[in-house]
């Protein structure tokens, strides 16, 4: 069980990215292998934000096509979306205490890490090295 981070989705959706082939192959392998893997709603929304942004994404998708792309990634495999439970605030408080200097953009990573701890998922597949600060996570870059 593992979470796939936004950057892997973005590389896979962007044919012009140098990481495209590796990211696309990784997603296809996750879908084919039949093992359980996860996204979060935060990761999905971040994908939607970046992939439709004209100044960020080289060939921006429409919102409808970005949603279709996410649906296609989730279809046919064992992909589920992690969501907050009633324990979420307590786990967030615990992780925030462990990382008191965390601020700004990495707070999004804190949300993902909190969801992962909450659901007992210990691996994230990402090209983002910021996740190494969460010592309970195994960070795997599928592009290397």
**In this structure, what CATH number is given to the domain that contains residue 56?**
3.40.50.1010
Number of structural domains (the chain) is 1
In tens, the pLDDT along 57-97 reads: 878 999 999 999 999 999 876 999 999 999 999 999 999 99
CB 106 within 8 A of CB 126: no
pLDDT score of 56: 84
Distance CA 51, CA 64 (A): 11
At residue 33, the pLDDT reads 85
* Nearest residue to 112 (alpha-carbon basis) of 47, 42, 48, 49: 42
Using the CB atoms, write b or e for 14-29: b if 16+ within 10 Å. Answer: beebebbebbbebbee
**CB-CB contact of 82 with 90 (8 Å):** no
Interval 95-120 mean pLDDT: 95
Whether the predicted pLDDT of 34 surpasses 90 = no
Res 105: pLDDT = 86
Q: CA–CA separation, 125 vs 4, rounded Å?
A: 5
Mean pLDDT of 26-40: 92
| Lowest-confidence segment of 4-8, 54-58, 109-113 by average pLDDT | 54-58
Parent domain of 114: 2-140
Dump pLDDT digits (tens) for 41-59: 999 999 999 999 998 887 8
């Amino acid at each position: 069980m593992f979470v796939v981070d936004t950057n892997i989705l973005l590389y896979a959706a962007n044919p012009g990215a140098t990481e495209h082939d590796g990211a696309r192959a990784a997603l296809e392998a996750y879908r084919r292998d039949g093992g359980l893997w996860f996204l979060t709603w935060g990761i999905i929304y971040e994908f939607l934000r970046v992939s439709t942004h004209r100044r960020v994404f080289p060939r921006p998708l429409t919102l409808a096509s970005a949603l279709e792309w996410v649906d296609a990634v989730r279809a046919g495999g064992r992909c589920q979306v992690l969501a907050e439970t009633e324990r979420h605030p307590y786990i967030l408080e615990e992780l925030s205490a462990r990382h008191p200097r965390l601020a700004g953009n990495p707070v999004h990573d804190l949300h993902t890490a909190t969801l992962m701890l909450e659901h007992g998922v210990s691996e994230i597949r990402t090209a983002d090295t910021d996740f190494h600060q969460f010592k309970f996570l195994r960070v795997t870059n599928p592009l290397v």
